[in-house]
């Protein structure tokens, strides 16, 4: 099972050209399931719906309940005055038989409606409990992200079983470096887990150690404009494999980390993991 996570940078930059580049990357990857963040919806058009239609996939999405901060950013950046919403989405080769969104906890002064989205996928042999999320991006807000991953872990625990042996798959833009408190806390194997007995593995720990890992990469001109360092802030987490290796990470790498016909698809690179499904 090929899993992708990707932050699509909403409607910033040359978004019309970028969405074609995003489609091109996903078409080449041929994913089974994709967790998307910063998906836009405007005037009845939804980026996830368009991608799903082009790729022949099922889809579901959840919109921010507080998009005003996002709206002000796009208006201030010359992006126009159209009321564009933002949210998370899941694209799936298999039907989505259940879904639920959860608004992440955050102080009022940082609230821009970020959330976690759950989708149960009717994959052959096993239903897959799949999640995608987008944590707050404020650099000094590690304590807030710790609260968010605690809520996320509880949200996963609520939906992880349901008669399936497939371990939960949690994707998203965590806006946190791998050695941060929030990533260690969410994993639960380098410190006490938020939910007793629930542990998640960072898929990238099984990557080629020599492979470039930054998903927020200063080589990307959208990132370079901020003069910050490169870092890995996008993740695919998987619950511990069941006996026989169900859900085991077989391969993991970046994608979308360069221009497509001269256009960088997003300010984030995607992460791609192949998981054992039988």
pLDDT of 162 above 90: no
Tokens 């807030």 sit on residue: 144
pLDDT higher than threshold 70 for residue 79: no
Q: Does the pLDDT of residue 78 top 50, yes or no?
A: no
Alpha helices in 121-269 (DSSP H): 142-159, 181-187, 221-224
CA distance 210 to 212: 7
- Report helix, strand and coil shares of the chain as percent, to nearest 5: 25, 30, 45
Q: Grade residue 120 by pLDDT with cuts at 50, 70 and 90.
A: very high
pLDDT digits (tens, 9 = 90+) for 98-109: 999 999 999 999
For residue range 35-45, list pLDDT tens digits in order. Answer: 999 999 998 99
Which of 125, 61, 124, 53 has the alpha carbon at shortest distance from 94?
124
Overall residue count recorded for the chain in this entry: 278
Residue 81 above 60 pLDDT?
A: no
Burial of 177 (0-12, 13-18, 19+ CB in 10 A): middle
* 2 close to 35: Cβ distance less than 8 angstroms: no
State pTM to two decimals: 0.95
Asked whether the beta carbons of 45 and 91 are under 8 A apart, the reply is no
Phi-psi region of 13 (alpha: psi -120 to 50; beta: other; left: phi over 0): left
Taking the C-alpha atoms of residue 231 and residue 228, their distance in angstroms, rounded to an integer, is: 9
Question: Mind listing the domains of the chain with CATH numbers?
Answer: 2-275 (3.60.10.10)
Among 152-156, 157-161, 169-173, 241-245, the range scoring the smallest mean pLDDT is: 241-245
Over residues 196-200, the mean pLDDT reads 96
> Could you tell me which residue, 72 or 218, shows the higher pLDDT?
218
Q: How far apart are CA 194 and CA 263, in angstroms?
A: 41
End-to-end Cα separation, the chain, in angstroms: 9
**pLDDT given at position 82:** 60
């Amino acid at each position: 099972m090929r899993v992708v996570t990707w932050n699509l940078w909403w409607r910033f930059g040359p978004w019309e050209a970028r969405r074609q580049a995003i489609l091109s990357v996903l078409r080449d990857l041929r994913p089974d399931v994709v967790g998307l963040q910063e998906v836009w919806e405007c005037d009845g058009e939804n980026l996830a719906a368009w991608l799903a239609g082009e790729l022949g996939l099922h889809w579901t999405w959840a919109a921010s309940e507080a998009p005003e901060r996002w709206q002000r950013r796009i208006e201030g950046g010359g992006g126009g005055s159209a009321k564009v919403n933002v949210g998370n989405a899941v694209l799936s080769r298999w039907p989505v038989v259940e879904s639920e969104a959860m608004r992440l906890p955050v102080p009022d002064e940082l609230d821009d409606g970020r959330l976690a989205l759950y989708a149960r996928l009717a994959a052959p042999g096993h239903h897959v409990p799949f999640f995608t999320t987008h944590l707050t991006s404020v650099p000094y807000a590690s304590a807030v992200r710790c609260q968010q991953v605690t809520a996320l872990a509880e949200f996963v625990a609520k939906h992880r079983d349901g008669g399936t042996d497939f371990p939960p798959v949690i994707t998203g833009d965590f806006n946190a470096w791998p050695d941060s408190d929030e990533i260690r806390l969410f994993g639960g194997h380098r410190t006490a887990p938020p939910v007793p007995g629930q542990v998640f593995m960072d898929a990238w720990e099984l990557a080629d150690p020599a492979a470039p890992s930054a998903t927020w990469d200063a080589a990307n001109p959208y990132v370079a404009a901020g003069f910050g360092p490169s870092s890995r802030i996008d993740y695919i987490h998987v619950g511990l494999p069941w006996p026989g290796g169900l859900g085991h990470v077989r391969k993991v790498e970046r994608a979308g980390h360069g221009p497509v016909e001269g256009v960088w698809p997003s300010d984030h690179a995607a992460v791609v993991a192949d998981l054992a499904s039988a």
